[in-house]
Amino acid sequence: MLAIPASFPPGFLWGVSTSSHQFEGGNTFNQWYDWERAGNIRTGDSCDLACDWWTNAERDLDLCAALGLNAIRISLEWSRLEPAYAHWSDAAVIRYREIIRAARNRGMRVFVTLHHFTHPRWFEARGGFLNDNAHQLFRHYCKRAVRTLGDLVTDWVTFNEPNVYTAFGYLFGDFPPGRVNELNSALSVLSAIMRAHGEAYDEIHRQQPSANVGIAVHYIAFEPARDHVLDRQLVATYDALFNRSVLLYLQGEPLPLPFAMMASATHHCAGKIDFIGLNVYNRLYVRAPFGEKPVGPGGLYVPRGVPQGDSATNSSYGEACPRVVCPAVEAYSALDRPIYVMENGVPDHADRIRPWLMVNSIKEVRRMWQQGHDIRGYFHWSLVDNFEWSEGWRLRFGLYELDRTTGERIARPSAEIYRSIIADNGIRRETLELWENAPQSPELDEMPGISSTD
């Protein structure tokens, strides 16, 4: 048998990540439904039937099986399970049981996220995570989820990307509730989410002592634009606040000053973590906006000439950057827990740059594993094109293209590349050689590096 130069340990998990609102369709009881109806999607799109999973997730689970996946990450829609306060839907439980069973029957270990950006309208109306009782309301929902699905699931992700949820909802105004530059609220929400994580961790373990309970964090490589002390300082601030705040909470350490003064205590969730999920996509450049007009919000931008996928409506999605895997893994290895790369991908309708991004990100995962980091799986974002939040259907992340008129799934070349990596449990030399260099990106101008409301 041919030796595979970049091979992975037996049992390594190969998956795709998905989320309820972006895939299920017909979620009309959550805050995103209202946000869409209020005209906040830049493309004017709405989620509608999404990928139609509520009716037919099985069609896409067949595609997962054909790719050879041995894992999948889905999320539960709290607003389906509890559409009105304290009213629980048995029908939703029945459908989730079908979907999870269908994935398991196709050979996949199922990781279930409990909160992936969406929650019930009634919860949002009470202030979301700014409500003093948010942690109890969330714990109650988790309790119910584990009681009704716990015989089928033991891998739980409490929250997807508390850092993105708070930054986009309270600093950039891209996500509901659409607040802008409210640093105090952002930090209060982050603290409340970490408190809710800690309580959910205890609740899940109370019911399932052997459960694996983790959280997924988005990690961005921030790069100083110039060799300038102010750029480096701003990079350090973004790194501490965006990349490492969840880590600090889990370590029971305070945020750096002055931010520690704005966030509440960190002791609620210290040590309450069985694995960490890392969502790694981009690099952004930082140019401190002192005495000049900012190049982008907060001085974040993407320079001309770097590898990029498709652009968002008013900004670059970011530099596609396989090497982000490394600082993310190095930082979170401090927790001394298993690591899963829980999301990695690029918006790329034409599949121009995705194969390069995917092959080289997986190569970096292997490099980090060889260096002794306990990395146990890689999940691609995502299987099929799906509803990309404020960008609607503009940004296409699927290994399969979705034809929204016919519902047809059309394999992009990346699907076959991923299938063969999974079949080999490694990357063949010819694949590594073929995708060694990033394909040319169109000559985009320097662009702001993050979506913003202005």
Nearer to ligand BGC, 74 or 164 (CB): 164
Q: How many residues bind ligand BGC (CB under 6 A)?
A: 11
| CA–CA dist 244, 236 (Å, integer) | 10
Contact segment (CB under 6 A) with ligand BGC among 124-132, 156-164, 320-328, 410-418 equals 156-164
What does the DSSP 8-state code read for residue 451?
-
- Nearest distance, CB of residue 197 and ligand BGC, angstroms: 16
By CB atoms closer than 10 A (0-12, 13-18, 19+), residue 108 is: buried
Cα 410 from chain centre: 24
Contact segment (CB under 6 A) with ligand BGC among 53-61, 79-87, 159-167, 292-300 equals 159-167
Nearer to ligand BGC, 76 or 225 (CB): 76
* 331, 247 Cβ separation under 8 angstroms: yes
With CB under 6 A as the contact rule, the residue among 52, 161, 274, 401 that binds ligand BGC is: 161
275-286 and 339-343: which strand pairing? parallel
| CA–CA dist 78, 230 (Å, integer) | 43
* 213, 337 Cβ separation under 8 angstroms: no
Nearer to ligand BGC, 225 or 284 (CB): 284
Quick note: the x/- pattern for ligand BGC over 297-336, rule CB under 6 A, is ----------------------------------------
- Amino acid identity of residue 414, one-letter, is S
The sign one gets for the Cα dihedral 301, 167, 191, 135 is negative
Contact segment (CB under 6 A) with ligand BGC among 121-129, 157-165, 359-367, 412-420 equals 157-165
* 262, 187 Cβ separation under 8 angstroms: yes
- Nearest distance, CB of residue 264 and ligand BGC, angstroms: 25
Q: Considering only residues 381-400, where is the footprint of ligand BGC by CB under 6 A?
A: 381, 388, 397
Interaction between residue 160 and ligand BGC (CB under 6 A): yes
| CA–CA dist 73, 158 (Å, integer) | 12
- Nearest distance, CB of residue 133 and ligand BGC, angstroms: 26
- Amino acid identity of residue 249, one-letter, is Y
CB atoms within 10 A of CB 406: 8
Contact segment (CB under 6 A) with ligand BGC among 160-168, 207-215, 308-316, 410-418 equals 160-168
Quick note: the x/- pattern for ligand BGC over 339-378, rule CB under 6 A, is ----x-----------------------------------
| CA–CA dist 400, 404 (Å, integer) | 12
Contacts with ligand BGC, residue ranges (CB under 6 A)? 19, 22, 160-161, 164, 218, 279, 343, 381, 388, 397
